[in-house]
Structure 1
Amino acid sequence: MATALKNLNEYSKNSFADMSEKRFGIVVAEWHTEITNALSNGAIETLLKHGVQRENIYLNTVPGSFELTLGAQLIAQSEEIDAVICLGVVIKGDTKHDDYINHAVAQGLTTVSLKYNKPVSFGLVTTNDLQQALDRAGGKHGNKGTEAAAAAIHMLSF
């Protein structure tokens, strides 16, 4: 979680296994592309830094964050994929839509992970405003895409 006390790019690498033969599916929401492109770049850079081969990274887009769940399921059902990283952003607005979307995505991704017995990372930025989202997409709080990729690697090393 990004707070003033923790940067998203700070994580323990001590127990990471060799990732050179692992395959990752990345699902990115197209809503707020300025943010989601930065998240996917952070995830890809992290995977490459930890030895994942570029040809073993499969990038897919969905219209918005709500669709991350089905996108994750379609990728996770492939036996060739070892982990799925889901990236999106939901910014609070005048209605409670953010509560419904955030809850649905969290529950849906958990279900997909358990159904296919593989890591499905929750890289959904959920903020009150655009600046908070930018702060978590490569800004002062690091990059949630980096954190989601590191979580997937860590779980594959479990």
Structure 2
Amino acid sequence: MSSSLKNLSDFSHIKVGNAEGLKFAIVVSQWNAQVTGALLNGAIAGLVNHGAQESDIDIIEVPGSYELIAGADIAFRNSGFDAVICLGCIIQGETRHFDFICDAVGHGVANVGIKYNKPAIFGVLTTDNLEQALDRAGGKHGNKGEEAAITAIQMALISKRY
């Protein structure tokens, strides 16, 4: 089904699991704060609604989406987090900068997860315009921050099991 017709943050068809006792870091970009603030709120709500305690959630603000990589690395290096959620918003501009940043952030977050053998969750919007970003940050298409939180819970539980 086309995403234009669907709230993508519907989790009614899956078993999420209980986040009680798990520790999370949310690394969030300050750039495009209107969008990333909404993603952050969605992520916190997603974690708390599934059993995480707010005291087990640390928020790390970084300047931009590129810095999510270093923020995630710092979080894992200096803590006992079960998962790190990276939240950002990269909006297409007039130059190829968008492509380079999207590629670097995607690979960088994945590499941090591999380096520490722990879930590093990519909750970064890569949109053509601000309207698309807002639609995915609590708008008509749900909240990708909440989706990233659900992914973090599921992956942290898998990581603990195996």
**Class of the TM-score when normalised by the shorter of the 2 chains:** over 0.9
Count, aligned residues: 156
Measured after TM superposition, the shift of residue 19 of structure 1 is 1.5
Say which SS state the counterpart of residue 66 (structure 1) adopts.
coil
In structure 1, the partner of 2:7 is: 7
2:90 maps to a residue whose letter is V
Structure 2 residue 105 is the aligned partner of structure 1 residue 105: yes
Mapped contact 1:47–1:149 kept (Cα < 8 A)? yes
Say which SS state the counterpart of residue 4 (structure 1) adopts.
helix
Mapped contact 1:90–1:98 kept (Cα < 8 A)? yes
Structure 2 residue 18 is the aligned partner of structure 1 residue 18: yes
1:1-158 to 2 correspondence within 5 Å?
Answer: 3-11=3-11, 12-14=13-15, 16-158=16-158
| TM-score, L = length of structure 1 | 0.94
Q: Deviations over 1:2-51 (max 9, x none)?
A: 9225423112441x333211000000000011100000000000000000
* Identity over aligned pairs, percent: 49
Q: Distance in 1 between matches of 2:33 and 2:88?
A: 9
Mapped contact 1:17–1:156 kept (Cα < 8 A)? no
Unaligned runs of 5+ in 2: none
1:108 maps to a residue whose letter is G
Unaligned runs of 5+ in 1: none
RMSD over aligned Cα atoms: 1.4
Mapped contact 2:121–2:151 kept (Cα < 8 A)? yes
Q: Deviations over 1:130-158 (max 9, x none)?
A: 10011011011111101111111111222
Q: Deviations over 1:92-145 (max 9, x none)?
A: 000011100000001001100011111111010000011001101101111110
Measured after TM superposition, the shift of residue 79 of structure 1 is 4.3
Q: Distance in 2 between matches of 1:59 and 1:140?
A: 26
